[in-house]
């Protein structure tokens, strides 16, 4: 999963500054000059190697410490775009999929989840400047929480679709008929039909768990929005004092991806201080 933690941002900045042309090209000159000096004892090669080293280190230091915000924003912007692209793709057919499987609760959740997310973003906009890196981190977390709930609804639709061909009314009627039949063949059919009913019940339980997770997500988004709104700060001055606002969202995001972790065997992500 995408990671908006400070540690991940710093790692991304370090990587980008190392592979930046201002670091790579002088480093190449340093290597070539060093090899030239070792092979031919050439003062020119030594001078080129020294100059390359000086420019390479200087370029890296300049990018790493004086352009840190630029590279951080570049990393965060790429994550935002990735999440938004995934969200748009997954929402394309979701409403129709939920309608086809008869998930009225899922259909009800879809617009409410979007409203909760939009409300959080609106409050975030009122508290921080969009240019701030902290704003980008918090926006990214809320986007991932929203995407997690969308994923849950996709899973609901898929699970209900998988058992949609099982006619429970027919099975119930058939079981009543078989109860009057004492033959071994009737018992075998009875076991098979009960297995199908059990599969339907289990699948419906799993979908209810996913829908319950989404209800919890909406509550958490409301709490986080209220906590954010209650912070007494001016735009651009929130800083570290706003870190606590994301704690419940971090917990929620980890829980919301439990099913995804089971399916993909991925480690849960979280924001870290």
Q: How far apart are CA 112 and CA 219, in angstroms?
A: 11
The pLDDT, as a whole number, for residue 252 is: 57
Give the helix ranges, DSSP H, for the chain.
Answer: 6-18, 21-40, 43-61, 68-91, 94-100, 104-127, 133-162, 168-178, 184-229, 247-256, 258-264
Please tell me the predicted confidence (pLDDT) of residue 2: 52
Instruction: Extract the residue ranges of the chain whose pLDDT is less than 50.
Output: 1, 234-241, 256-273
pTM: 0.66
Amino acid 203: pLDDT: 94
Instruction: Give the per-residue pLDDT at 69.
Output: 72
**Helix 184-229, helix 133-162: angle, nearest 10:** 160
Tell me what pLDDT residue 112 has.
94
């Amino acid at each position: 999963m995408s990671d908006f933690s400070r540690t991940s941002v710093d790692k991304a900045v370090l990587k980008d500054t190392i592979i930046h042309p201002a670091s790579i090209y002088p480093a190449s000159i340093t290597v070539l000059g060093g090899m030239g000096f070792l092979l031919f004892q050439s003062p020119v090669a030594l001078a080129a190697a020294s100059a390359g080293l000086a420019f390479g280190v200087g370029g890296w230091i300049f990018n790493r410490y004086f352009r840190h915000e630029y590279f951080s924003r570049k990393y965060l912007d790429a994550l935002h775009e990735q999440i938004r692209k995934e969200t748009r793709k997954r929402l394309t057919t979701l409403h129709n999929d939920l309608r086809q499987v008869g998930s009225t609760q899922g259909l009800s959740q879809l617009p409410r989840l979007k409203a909760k997310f939009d409300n959080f973003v609106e409050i975030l906009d009122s508290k921080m400047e969009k240019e701030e890196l902290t704003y980008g981190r918090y926006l990214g977390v809320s986007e991932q929480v929203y995407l997690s709930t969308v994923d849950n609804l996709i899973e609901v639709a898929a699970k209900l679709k998988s058992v949609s061909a099982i006619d429970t009314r027919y099975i119930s009627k058939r079981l009543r008929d078989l109860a009057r039949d004492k033959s071994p063949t009737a018992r075998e059919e009875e076991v098979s039909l009960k297995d199908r009913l059990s599969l339907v019940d289990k699948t419906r339980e799993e979908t209810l768990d996913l829908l319950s997770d989404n209800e919890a997500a909406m509550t958490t988004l409301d709490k986080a929005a209220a906590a954010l709104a209650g912070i007494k700060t001016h735009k651009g001055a929130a800083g570290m004092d706003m870190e606590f606002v994301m704690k419940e969202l971090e917990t929620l995001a980890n829980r919301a991806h439990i099913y995804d972790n089971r399916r993909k065997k991925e480690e849960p992500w979280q924001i870290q201080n």
